[in-house]
Structure formats: structure tokens, C-alpha cells
Amino acid sequence: MEGSDFYLDAAATTPPLPAVIAAMQQVQQTCWANPSSLHRPGLAAAEALERARWRLADRFAVQPDQLIVTSGATESVHLAIQGCAARLKPGRIVISAVEHPAVIAAAMNLQARGWMVETWPVDAQGLIRLEELNRLLSPPTQLVSLIAAQSEIGAVQPIRIVAQACRQRGIVMHTDATQLIPQGCCSFDALGVDLLSVSAHKFQGPRGVGLLIRSRDTELHPLQGGGGQEHGLRSGTEPVALVTGMAEALAVLPHYVPDERICPPGSTPFIQQQRDALLASLLKRPGVSAIGPDASQRLPHHISLLVTTADGVPIPGRELVRRLAAAGVSCSSGSACSSGASSDSPVLSAMQVPPSLRRSGIRLTLGPWLTSDDLKEVARRFETTHATFS
């Protein structure tokens, strides 16, 4: 075990399942043709694509034509927000203060086209302030994009409450469910939203493919022209092997029925117990504190920490992550989707974390490839690594 590496960065990406790799390899070998072609190889590819599409639709309890295959959640987010706004007169879009950069970028695009952008504030746990609901959903709000679960601090937002309020007011609601769905698959209608984005590589599927799911009465405008694939909304030859791999990965996720503030069960029956045991071990170290919501409103596989020395000197999260990597423990500082030089975390800033600690956050996210013995070793290596900063 001393020479083993332990991967605790599931919120960034996940190792593809063996069954996913096998299914993709089979498709690459037998259904490699363009699914728009009318010859026998093309028809074989088209059949494989539709079989995968039906499997995906079945898991979300929607019709296949409600699914739009994209390159991943970032593209899905932009198609949802910009594609919906193109059908509306400029008004106000509301996004939370803890959104993924893709949502912020899409909102800024609308701002350049005459839309107003307003940010929904969060509390010290990273949860939206529901007392702001009536104000933020009053005219001229026409579009809301609210992250379902936040990758950096694990907060699961009250999506159904906001979605119901939006529907009563005729407001279109999109949710970035990239972090939520990997912990449990529910029916699309149960969440009550109009648009939902997801990426396959977050639930042990392949990178480079994702979905945008839309309600029957939500109209979108395509962002690019071309061959008119995906119901005319996302042109480009469909990646049949990637879609097949995504369907294979989604098939093994547990099903759950969402409640207003109930988190999904986790990708394995014991993942929350494993998380809680690891967290308890880590918090024994002086200078290590948890941040974000409690277990009832947190992703079941997620740990977020602020780390200082035993004397209270803030430890740069990026440096701690580097030293843990050298010790064989893979985790993240902040969001792995944001690259570049170390800077204050926008999420921790929104949560009013003191400026001195905004670069001291780290995230550990578990997956079914880890055993309880693995996590005991992770705790030991964390303790050893943390001690090097004293």
C-alpha cells in the first residue's frame, strides 16, 4: 500500500468503467461509420446511436427527442442559456454566486446583448439565500440558471423549490447538474426544471460527450449551423462510441427520488459512511476545518477543507495539493475546471470566508474505486504531508 496512489478527485473527472471502455471499443470496431449515411455501415452506426439514445432517455424518464448530445456540460450550458435567450426579448437572467465558470461566461454573453445579469447571494455554507426568491424572480427576470450541486464546497441547492417558483411565474430555469447526477439518477420531471446539463466523464463515462435535456415546451435556437443533427440544435457528426459509453456509464448509477433538500444516495451504498469516516480523521489535525454545508445538503462523496498550520498560518491549497500528489494522494484545490495561477476562490469569496483563507481550500471527492482501507491510508498520508508545513 505504501507505493499505491489514491484518486480522490471525482468532482474533476472519474476513471471510465471497464464496461464503458469495452462498449466503446465494440462500437469503434463495428459501427464506425457516419450515422447519417444510408449505406449498411452508416445504418449500423445510426442503429447503435439510437439504441444508446433510448437507454439515456429511459434513465431520465424522457422521450429521446428531449435529449441533445453535446461535447460536455460546458457546451450544454451555453446552448441552454444562449439558445433559450435567443427566443426571448432581453430581460434579466439570475445566476447564483457559486456557479461554474461556463454559466458565468454564458450570462456575460447575454449581458453584451442587452440582458441584465443578477447574482443570487449565498450564505456561509454556500447555499442560496431563499429569502431572496421573491425579489429575484420578480420582473424583469425571464431566465434562471442555478447550479444543482457545487463542485468546490459540495453544496446541493434547493433546485425543486426554485424550479416550482419559476414555473409559477413563467420563468425558464436551467440547472447545471454536472456534479449532482453522478451521485444518483432521477427522472428529469422530478426536478421541475426546463433545461438540465450533464457531462459523462463525471460518472465514469468518456470525456468529450454530454447532454442537454429540455422540457417539451422549451424552445431553443442553435448556436451553430451545419448538418442539422440533434433535431437541428447541435450540428456535427454524432460521436456514436462516446454516446454509447455515456449510456453504459449512466446505466449503473443508482436511482433516487429527489426531495426539496435531500441529497442523492451516492454512487455506492457506503460512500457517505466512507466520506464521514475520512472527514473525522482529517479533522483531528490542528489547523484543519471543514467548510460548506452539513451532510443533509452536501454531495455524499464530497469533503471540502480550509487548512492552516497548527499555529494558524494559512497553507496555500495549491501547494498542499502538490505535496499530497507527491505522496500519492490526488485531490484538488478549488475547481479543477479553472486553471492558471493561484488566486482567491470566487466561491469562498461569495461565502464571506476571510481573505487570508481564500487560497487555503482543498477538495477531496471519493468514488467507488476506493476501499475503507484505502481511505485510512489517505488519512495517514494527509497527516504526514500536513506536518511538513509546520
* 1 found inside a domain: no
Name the pairing type of β-strands 116-120 and 92-96. Answer: parallel
34 and 120 both lie in a single domain:
yes
Q: Any idea what the CATH number is for the domain that residue 107 is in?
A: 3.40.640.10
364 and 318 both lie in a single domain:
yes
Domain final residue, candidates 222, 251, 280? 251
165-187: b or e for each residue (b if 16 or more CB lie within 10 Å)?
Answer: bbeeeebbbbbbbbbbbbbbbbe
Number of domains in the chain: 2
Cα 68 to Cα 106, 111, 186, 234, 250: the distances in Å are 18, 25, 18, 7, 16
196 and 72 both lie in a single domain:
yes
Please give the Cα distance from 340 to 94 (Å, whole number): 27
222 and 332 both lie in a single domain:
no
Please give the Cα distance from 354 to 150 (Å, whole number): 20
56 and 103 both lie in a single domain:
yes
267 and 227 both lie in a single domain:
no
- Of 31, 84, 263, 337, the catalytic one is 337
54 and 118 both lie in a single domain:
yes
> Considering only CA atoms, which of 221, 198, 232, 205 is closest in space to residue 102?
198
Positive or negative torsion for Cα 32, 38, 39, 40: positive
* 304 found inside a domain: yes
207 and 353 both lie in a single domain:
no
268-301: b or e for each residue (b if 16 or more CB lie within 10 Å)?
Answer: beebbebbeebbebbeebebbebbbbeeebbbbb
Please give the Cα distance from 148 to 99 (Å, whole number): 9
- What is the extent of the structural domain holding 301? 6-15+262-387
Q: What is the pLDDT of residue 335?
A: 46
Q: What is the pLDDT of residue 377?
A: 97
* 257 found inside a domain: no
314 and 208 both lie in a single domain:
no
* 111 found inside a domain: yes
Per-residue model confidence as pLDDT tens digits over 57-85: 999 999 999 999 999 999 999 999 999 99
Residue 110 buriedness (CB in 10 A; 0-12 / 13-18 / 19+):
buried
298 and 382 both lie in a single domain:
yes
Q: Any idea what the CATH number is for the domain that residue 278 is in?
A: 3.90.1150.10
Per-residue model confidence as pLDDT tens digits over 133-166: 999 999 999 999 999 999 999 999 999 999 999 9
Domain final residue, candidates 251, 275, 304? 251
59 and 197 both lie in a single domain:
yes
* 283 found inside a domain: yes
Please give the Cα distance from 162 to 166 (Å, whole number): 6
245 and 326 both lie in a single domain:
no
Domain final residue, candidates 251, 284, 311? 251
Taking 70 as the pLDDT cut, the residues of the chain under it are 1-3, 260-262, 335-342
Q: What is the pLDDT of residue 265?
A: 85
Could you tell me the three cell numbers for 293? Answer: 454545508
DSSP string, 306-333: EEB-TTSPBPPHHHHHHHHHHTTEE-BS
pTM: 0.94
* 256 found inside a domain: no
337 annotated active-site? yes
